[in-house]
Amino acid sequence: MKMPYLAAALALALSPILAGEEPSLKDSVGGVASKVLPAFVFITTAGSTASGAIISADGFLITNQHVMGDKNEALVRLGSGESYRAKLIGRDRQGDLALLKIDAPKPLPFLNLGDSDQLRVGDFCVAIGNPLALGAVDQTVTVTLGVVSGLHQFRGNGIYNDTIVTDAAINPGNSGGPLLNLSGELIGINSLGETRLGLRSNSGLAFAIPSNQVKLWIPLLKEAKGGDVYHARLLGLNFETDQEKLPEAGALIKLVDADSDAARAGFQNGDLIITFGDLPVWNVNRFFGILGIFPPGTELTAKVGRQGKTETISLKLDERRPARLGFKLSAPAAADQYVRLSDVDPASKAGKAGLRNGDEMLEIDKMLLTGAAQFTHGYLTQRWLPNLIAGMRIWLKVRRFEDGKFVEREVKYITD
């Protein structure tokens, strides 16, 4: 039985924000906005604006990490008009989540986190946010209606691992805001809009971090004491890339590195990963998407196809911490052909493996670094270096000037 409008209005004063039986579309879209507005948060950091959502009566709120950057606090304004300074509690750079805390003199209205595993493609959803800083003009949110266009998408170079896709309009400023079902439950955190030609405007596809992933990380973020939390890793798997050899479903392992996380867990060359953490794996991207959900220390099982049989592998995931490189990359001049190493620490694993100041980088893991050094430097600093993690195997080919001539050296080591 549907709740009468008057009773629903009275219930707005209660926390959490009411999420009852899903109403009809005709009655609900405006009602969702009025229900959740008290728990919506306008966020301002160093002149930029974004969105967030209060998730507990004691003032915890969730937004995107890219909204916060390296800042430790933000000015926030509630839907009721009250303003506070919110302190950063923890940040998840890989999963693009940040947890903040408001010290309010009274309990705050908040959003219930729904069950994102219950979503179906085609379900209606509502995005609420502060796109293009419009909330600074009239002090109100914008509301866009759409459907769940897809599920379990892998986007953003492994930052968004298991996203919800929606056609609800998302633009700059919506980041960190709530994606809701028609009962007013938070089912995702709006994070990324698909763009073309570098234009930061809605193209009809947007991505949200599922609420069940948010639930998984909130306890770790609360314990971070203003610092970072890290995702899980599983190093040592090299997957088949030959299209003619790929199966219809599953992730086919071509090679398992010796003495790696994967080898110690029991994976073997030629294994076909069928499930991971009880979730079906339909291709390699899906495998990495599932892996990216979990915190370190998670114990789970994987089912693999091996020589016509199904085997079960039990493993405990290690921590994906950034690598200590032991060197820096020199800023290249316009005429440089290769990127040079600088500040090589002789006591680091990179230094002990034989890297030297002034070495020119020719190849990384058999990939040629060709073209202007300035272009290569941009790729290395923006794409390669941020993905290096502790325990990863590195293979470099470098060139140096020795004994009156240029010589090439291959250098292999495992990152600190």
Indicate which residues carry an active-site annotation: 66, 96, 175
Contact call for residues 54 and 36 (beta carbons, < 8 A): no
Which secondary-structure segment (H or E) carries 367? strand 367-368
Rounded to whole angstroms, how far apart are CA atoms 132 and 141? 11
Pairing of strands 60-63, 48-54: antiparallel
Q: Which residue has the tokens 């579309």?
A: 25
Rounded to whole angstroms, how far apart are CA atoms 241 and 3? 55
Which secondary-structure segment (H or E) carries 67? helix 65-68
DSSP classification of residue 177? P
- Backbone φ and ψ for 377, nearest 5 degrees, come out as -60, -40
Report CA torsion sign: 366, 370, 373, 376. Answer: negative
Degrees, nearest 5: CA angle 234-238-243: 135
Q: Which of 152, 132, 147, 61 is nearest to 100 (CA)?
A: 61
**By three-state DSSP, how is residue 98 classified?**
strand
Rounded to whole angstroms, how far apart are CA atoms 311 and 14? 51
Burial class (CB in 10 A: 0-12, 13-18, 19+), 193: buried
Contact call for residues 283 and 274 (beta carbons, < 8 A): no
Q: Which of 323, 395, 312, 398 is nearest to 355 (CA)?
A: 398
Rounded to whole angstroms, how far apart are CA atoms 312 and 273? 10
